[in-house]
Amino acid sequence: MNDFLILAGLIAIPLAVMYRRDPILNAALALAVLTVLSLMVSASGILTLLAALAAVASGLAAHKGLRVEHVTRPLFAWFKSVLPQLSPTEQEAIDAGTVWW
């Protein structure tokens, strides 16, 4: 039963934070509390590890400098290298700013 409650918390906490549009730091703190609770109730090791990893990942994602440097910039660079260049016609359509209909 304890494992089920910890698993439900691992699913419900991020969903609640996203639904309420709370800062991601709130998710990190809630997941850290869930990790401590899972240690206290002797939940299975894998669930405790998942809760701890989720708390650490949320905490790192809350730090804007780390997120921009290690996630956003590499992703933008990758997309820039993968996506094809705009044709002159496409660029003209984008510069027009609207569609006729």
Which pLDDT tens digit goes with each residue over 14-58? Answer: 889 889 898 888 888 888 888 888 888 877 788 888 888 888 888
Question: Is 95 inside a domain boundary?
Answer: no
CA distance 99 to 71: 34
Tell me the two tokens of residue 91: 């660029």
Question: Is 63 inside a domain boundary?
Answer: yes
* Domain membership of residue 30 as a residue range: 2-84
**Model pTM above 0.85:** no
Positions of E strands within 11-100 = none
Which pLDDT tens digit goes with each residue over 49-95? Answer: 888 888 888 888 888 888 899 989 999 999 999 988 888 888 888 88
What total of structural domains would you count in the chain?
Answer: 1
Question: Is 26 inside a domain boundary?
Answer: yes
Question: Is 92 inside a domain boundary?
Answer: no
Question: Is 93 inside a domain boundary?
Answer: no
Question: Is 48 inside a domain boundary?
Answer: yes
